[in-house]
Amino acid sequence: MRIARLFIALYLFAGAATAQLPAPGEPLPSVNIAEPGALVTDGDDFTLRPFSTDELQGQVVSIHAVAGRLGIDKKNAPYVEALKAADLPEERFATVSIIDQSQALFGTKGLVLGKAKDKQREFPTTQFVVDGDGAATAAWGLDKKGYAVIVIDAAGRILRAHDGSLDAAQIDDFVTAIRTATED
């Protein structure tokens, strides 16, 4: 019985140790997503290309790392609305949504890609990336079924990071940090 408890404790501790968001001030751990990749507008349709988070330097970026599950986009809808209302300068600020397709329910991976295309049409200034293997979720220690927001500065350092729904105070804090960073 003691050995079973020990294994359970080690298992729980190992899970907790890996579920650690990078801290503010640290560089965002680099992630490369080969497939399916970033959506690129091609007339009325899209093509896909490999994506690397190293591409994000040079602007303040709000990264939305979401599980590829229907309805997950509503989890931080108030934050998205606050970003729209903030009227941030497009030349200094960008939004990237990385959708973890590996978290899609069985048989729905095609639906996730289709939903990403619909969102790209709805929000043309946002870069949508479909992460087939969950590379970002694993590299950044995110909740596999969640919605994390990570804000980086133009040098790729983390300004703010939160895994889960942002409350009103956190939304204000994130938007203020973005506004300050885009003014520098």
pLDDT digits (tens, 9 = 90+) for 137-157: 999 999 888 899 999 999 999
Determine the pLDDT at residue 16. 39
Q: Is the pLDDT at 75 greater than 80, yes or no?
A: yes
More confident residue, 2 or 179: 179
pLDDT range class, residue 108, cuts 50, 70, 90: low
Average the pLDDT over 173-179 and give the result. 97
CB atoms under 10 Å from CB of 180, counted, come to 12
Q: In three state form, how does the secondary structure of the chain look?
A: CHHHHHHHHHHHHHHHHHCCCCCCCCECCCCEEEEEEEEEEECCEEEEEEEEHHHHCCCEEEEEEEECCCCHHHHHHHHHHHHHHHCCCCCCEEEEEEEEHHHCCCCCHHHHHHHHHHHHHHCCCEEEEEECCCHHHHHCCCCCCCEEEEEECCCCEEEEEEECCCCHHHHHHHHHHHHHHHHC
Domain encompassing residue 63: 2-183
Provide the greatest CA pair distance for the chain: 63
Q: How far is Cα 63 from Cα 22, in angstroms, rounded to an integer?
A: 13
More confident residue, 17 or 78: 78
Could you tell me the two tokens for 20? 């650690």
Percent of the chain with pLDDT over 70: 87
Average the pLDDT over 19-34 and give the result. 88
How many independent structural domains does the chain possess?
Answer: 1
Determine how β-strand 60-67 pairs with β-strand 147-152.
antiparallel
Determine the pLDDT at residue 53. 95
Could you tell me the two tokens for 112? 């996730």
More confident residue, 105 or 42: 42
pTM of the model as a whole: 0.85
Could you tell me the two tokens for 144? 């596999």
CATH number at residue 88: 3.40.30.10
Determine the pLDDT at residue 105. 67
Determine the pLDDT at residue 5. 39
